């Protein structure tokens, strides 16, 4: 029997590669920000917000996403964005997470007084301040805190979602599909510009409603990212089938896949041109394994939004591991899912049949497959340090 305990998980160095800023606020901060901005909430008490909005279980993805109206609503000033980023880094560090990639859609936060650049700089400022503070008293036995920023384009949007999207739709006389593509291309160009100015922009993502809004509509944006050496991750296979994952890899050059939950689902395949569904899935999963295209799995989030998953045993995570895929465990949304990395990894030990070696791979995959902001040589040294710390602690507690 494995000796992996909650204490062990808390102490080892960890990562969080799939971490949405607007889904990971401190609830107390959300309430305080709402009061200062005179934004009405369903409740001004944490217990009330948890009962009415941020639940332990959701009926569907729509209910899960409803809370973002409030979190995005308070993150409409550079000051609040900076504060949220700082607190997220601090909360992550407090549970032993040493590397995070914070993702958000800056176009959701654009107002008449702000633009994408000022929004991204505010988040970067909060994360950098936290990094300096957290590493100021670093011990020799610890790993420095590091971070990267991933900017998210949205598969679809409407005028009510932000001032930016309202402008795009008002200017465009073409189809909605063209407007979505136009916004994502504008965002990736800004991402490359800000990265080249020195901001730690490490990746580009596509998020939002998957079914009916394929990633290929955003191909031009991902081609731009690809040509400019910006790494790519795509939410895929979260609410659609294996062909969505295939499209993310082949049309958007995805280095990683967000969720990938329906990778092994024959029932989720919709394309009639795929005759042998079992073979298609086998070839796709083998390609992902061979190419080391890492799947960012967020267990609690998936359990909350997919009704047929009663426990983690119903999730394909075990199958991913058994098929040799590179898998990293993440939180998705710390507030909306009431979780942290320690809890996610503990779930894995309780509900999956993992060897100590497989658990080690789950943890270290986050370091190895991160979009680390520094040169490769620095990343190698950082990953090596994380491995040594993990193995040293494992020798003390697992042998």
- Summarize pLDDT for 49-89 with one digit per residue, the tens: 999 999 988 887 778 888 999 999 999 999 999 999 999 99
Helix orientation angle between 341-351 and 356-368, rounded to the nearest 10 degrees: 150
Q: Are 238 and 215 in contact (CB under 8 A)?
A: no
**SS3 of 47, please?**
helix
Domain range for 328: 6-397
Assess if residue 1 is contained within a domain.
no
Q: Which two tokens stand for residue 73?
A: 């609503």
Assess if residue 50 is contained within a domain.
yes
Distance of alpha carbon 108 from alpha carbon 183, whole angstroms: 11
Give which of 129, 65, 96 is closest to 333, Cα–Cα. Answer: 65
Assess if residue 58 is contained within a domain.
yes
Continuous H helices in the chain: 6-11, 27-37, 46-52, 61-66, 68-74, 78-94, 116-135, 163-171, 176-196, 219-227, 242-250, 277-291, 299-305, 317-322, 341-351, 356-368, 376-397
Residue 179: which CATH number?
3.20.20.140
pLDDT of residue 172: 73
Buried b (16+ CB within 10 A) or exposed e, 245-259: bbbbbebbbbbbbbb
What are the pLDDT digits (tens) for 242-272? Answer: 999 999 999 999 999 999 999 999 999 999 9
Assess if residue 324 is contained within a domain.
yes
Residues counted in the chain: 399
Domain count, the chain: 1
What are the pLDDT digits (tens) for 171-193? Answer: 877 789 999 999 999 999 999 99
**SS3 of 25, please?**
coil
pLDDT of residue 1: 47
pTM of structure: 0.97
Assess if residue 117 is contained within a domain.
yes
pLDDT along the chain (399 residues), means of 10: 86 98 98 96 96 88 88 97 98 98 98 95 98 93 96 95 93 85 97 98 95 94 98 94 96 98 95 95 98 98 91 96 97 97 97 96 98 97 98 91
Q: To the nearest whole number, what is the mean pLDDT of the chain?
A: 95
Distance of alpha carbon 98 from alpha carbon 134, whole angstroms: 10
């Amino acid at each position: 029997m494995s000796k992996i305990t909650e204490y062990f998980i808390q102490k080892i160095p960890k990562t969080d590669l799939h971490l949405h800023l607007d889904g990971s606020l401190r609830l107390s901060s959300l309430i305080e920000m709402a009061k200062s901005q005179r934004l009405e909430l369903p409740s001004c008490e944490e217990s009330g917000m948890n009962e009415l909005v941020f639940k332990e279980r959701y009926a569907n993805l729509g209910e899960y996403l409803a809370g973002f109206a409030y979190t995005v609503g308070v993150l409409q000033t550079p000051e609040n964005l900076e504060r949220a980023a700082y607190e997220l880094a601090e909360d992550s560090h407090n549970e032993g997470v040493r590397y995070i990639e914070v993702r958000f859609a800056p176009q959701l936060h654009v107002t008449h007084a702000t633009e994408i650049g000022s929004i991204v700089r505010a988040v970067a400022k909060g994360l950098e301040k936290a990094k300096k503070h957290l590493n100021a008293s670093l011990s020799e036995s610890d790993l420095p805190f590091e971070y990267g920023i991933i900017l998210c384009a949205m598969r679809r949007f409407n005028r009510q979602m932000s001032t930016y999207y309202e402008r795009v739709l008002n200017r465009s006389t073409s189809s909605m599909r063209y407007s979505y593509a136009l916004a994502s291309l504008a965002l990736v160009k800004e991402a490359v510009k800000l990265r080249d100015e020195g901001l730690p922009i490490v990746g580009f993502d596509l998020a939002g409603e998957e079914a009916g809004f394929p990633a290929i509509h955003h191909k031009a944006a991902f081609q731009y990212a690809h040509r400019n050496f910006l790494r790519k991750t795509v939410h895929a296979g979260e609410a659609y089938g294996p062909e969505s994952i295939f499209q993310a890899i082949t049309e958007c050059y995805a280095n990683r896949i967000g969720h990938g939950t329906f990778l092994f689902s024959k029932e989720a395949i919709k394309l009639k041109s795929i005759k042998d569904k079992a073979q298609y899935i086998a070839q796709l999963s083998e390609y992902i394994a061979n190419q080391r295209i890492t799947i960012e799995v967020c267990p609690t989030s998936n359990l909350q939004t997919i009704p047929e998953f009663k426990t983690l045993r119903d999730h394909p995570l075990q199958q991913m591991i058994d098929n040799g895929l590179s898998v990293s465990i993440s939180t998705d949304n710390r507030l909306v899912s009431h979780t942290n990395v320690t809890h996610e990894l503990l779930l894995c030990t309780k509900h999956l049949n993992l060897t100590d070696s497989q658990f080690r791979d789950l943890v270290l995959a986050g370091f190895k497959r991160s979009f680390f902001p520094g040169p490769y040589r620095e990343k190698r040294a950082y990953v090596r340090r994380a491995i040594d710390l993990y193995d040293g602690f494992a020798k003390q507690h697992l042998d």
